[in-house]
Copies of this chain bind each other. A is one copy, B any other.
């Protein structure tokens, strides 16, 4: 089964807007939604769907097959679940030792274990970017293109730091302002990191009247890009603005922009930019 040769999509929905956006982008085509209990936090009432726990791997596979799906897309946030309180079926239980072993290597290793299981069950795994028509996000700039030059050094250093952080499997993001690394993302996620930057002492960061600093997000080298591409949305832009930053830098083909029109509106409102750079 290739990425393009499938007939019906199973959308495995975690938290946030991304799964809904994919559902909208696939309007008119047959989509079956697996609503992940405890993670999916949007209303999928209008869609053909089933609600299951992330530990019910056997149940999810059975439901997908029953609905006639031959492809799946993982979309939305899923954090590391608590194995003790997680509802699991037999197939989920069988995966536990492998997932635990992988867990010591990092999040990407766990994701790979789960993806392998679905591929072995015969499903094509399709990336959210291709379903959103963002296959290969092109290099370029959104928002205040004129501001990019003044912040190019920070963008370059933030991308370098994000690359090193990714190489070490720590996380996807970093914030650099005036040459200084203000924050590095690990398990807390991008939003918490941006809120932390907003809380730093005023002298080392920017504000609405004097924007300073750039957020970089890029995939880890070992990352399963079909499942866990760096993603930004309107909330990311709003948090960057609140933290006094001047912009965001992403890697072409290595990021996903949720609600593109909304993001462009927020960039214009705050005078921020999104720079998309060709991969090295």
A144 at the interface (CB under 8 A from B): no
A181, B170: Cβ atoms closer than 8 Å: yes
Which residues, 94 to 139 on A, are CB-close (under 8 Å) to B? 103-107
A180, B82: Cβ atoms closer than 8 Å: no
B184, A186: Cβ atoms closer than 8 Å: yes
A179 at the interface (CB under 8 A from B): yes
A196, B188: Cβ atoms closer than 8 Å: yes
A180, B83: Cβ atoms closer than 8 Å: no
Q: Quick one: closest B residue to A153, CB to CB?
A: B104
A182 at the interface (CB under 8 A from B): yes
8 interchain pairs (CB within 8 A)?
A80-B201, A82-B202, A103-B180, A104-B180, A105-B179, A106-B179, A170-B184, A187-B200
A204 at the interface (CB under 8 A from B): yes
User: For the complex formed by this chain, how many copies does it contain in all?
Assistant: 2
- Return chain B residues, CB-CB under 8 Å to A238: none
Which residues of A are in contact with B by a Cβ distance under 8 Å?
Answer: 79-83, 103-107, 161, 164-165, 168-171, 178-188, 192, 196, 199-204
Q: Which 8 A-B pairs have the closest CB atoms?
A: A104-B179, A82-B203, A184-B184, A170-B181, A182-B187, A183-B186, A181-B186, A80-B204
Determine how close the nearest CB of chain B comes to the CB of A173; give it in whole angstroms.
11
Of B169, B181, B196, which is within 8 A of A181 by CB? B169
B80, A203: Cβ atoms closer than 8 Å: yes
- Return chain B residues, CB-CB under 8 Å to A188: 183, 196, 199-200
Alpha-carbon distance between A106 and B181 when the two chains are bound, in angstroms: 8
Determine how close the nearest CB of chain B comes to the CB of A72; give it in whole angstroms.
24
Q: A196-B196, A201-B80, A202-B82 are in contact. Are A165 and B178 (CB under 8 A)?
A: no
Q: Quick one: closest B residue to A185, CB to CB?
A: B184
A184, B204: Cβ atoms closer than 8 Å: no
Beyond known contacts A82-B202, A106-B179, A183-B187: 16 more, CB 8 A cutoff: A79-B204, A80-B203, A80-B204, A103-B180, A104-B178, A107-B180, A169-B181, A170-B184, A171-B181, A181-B186, A181-B187, A182-B186, A184-B184, A188-B196, A188-B199, A196-B196
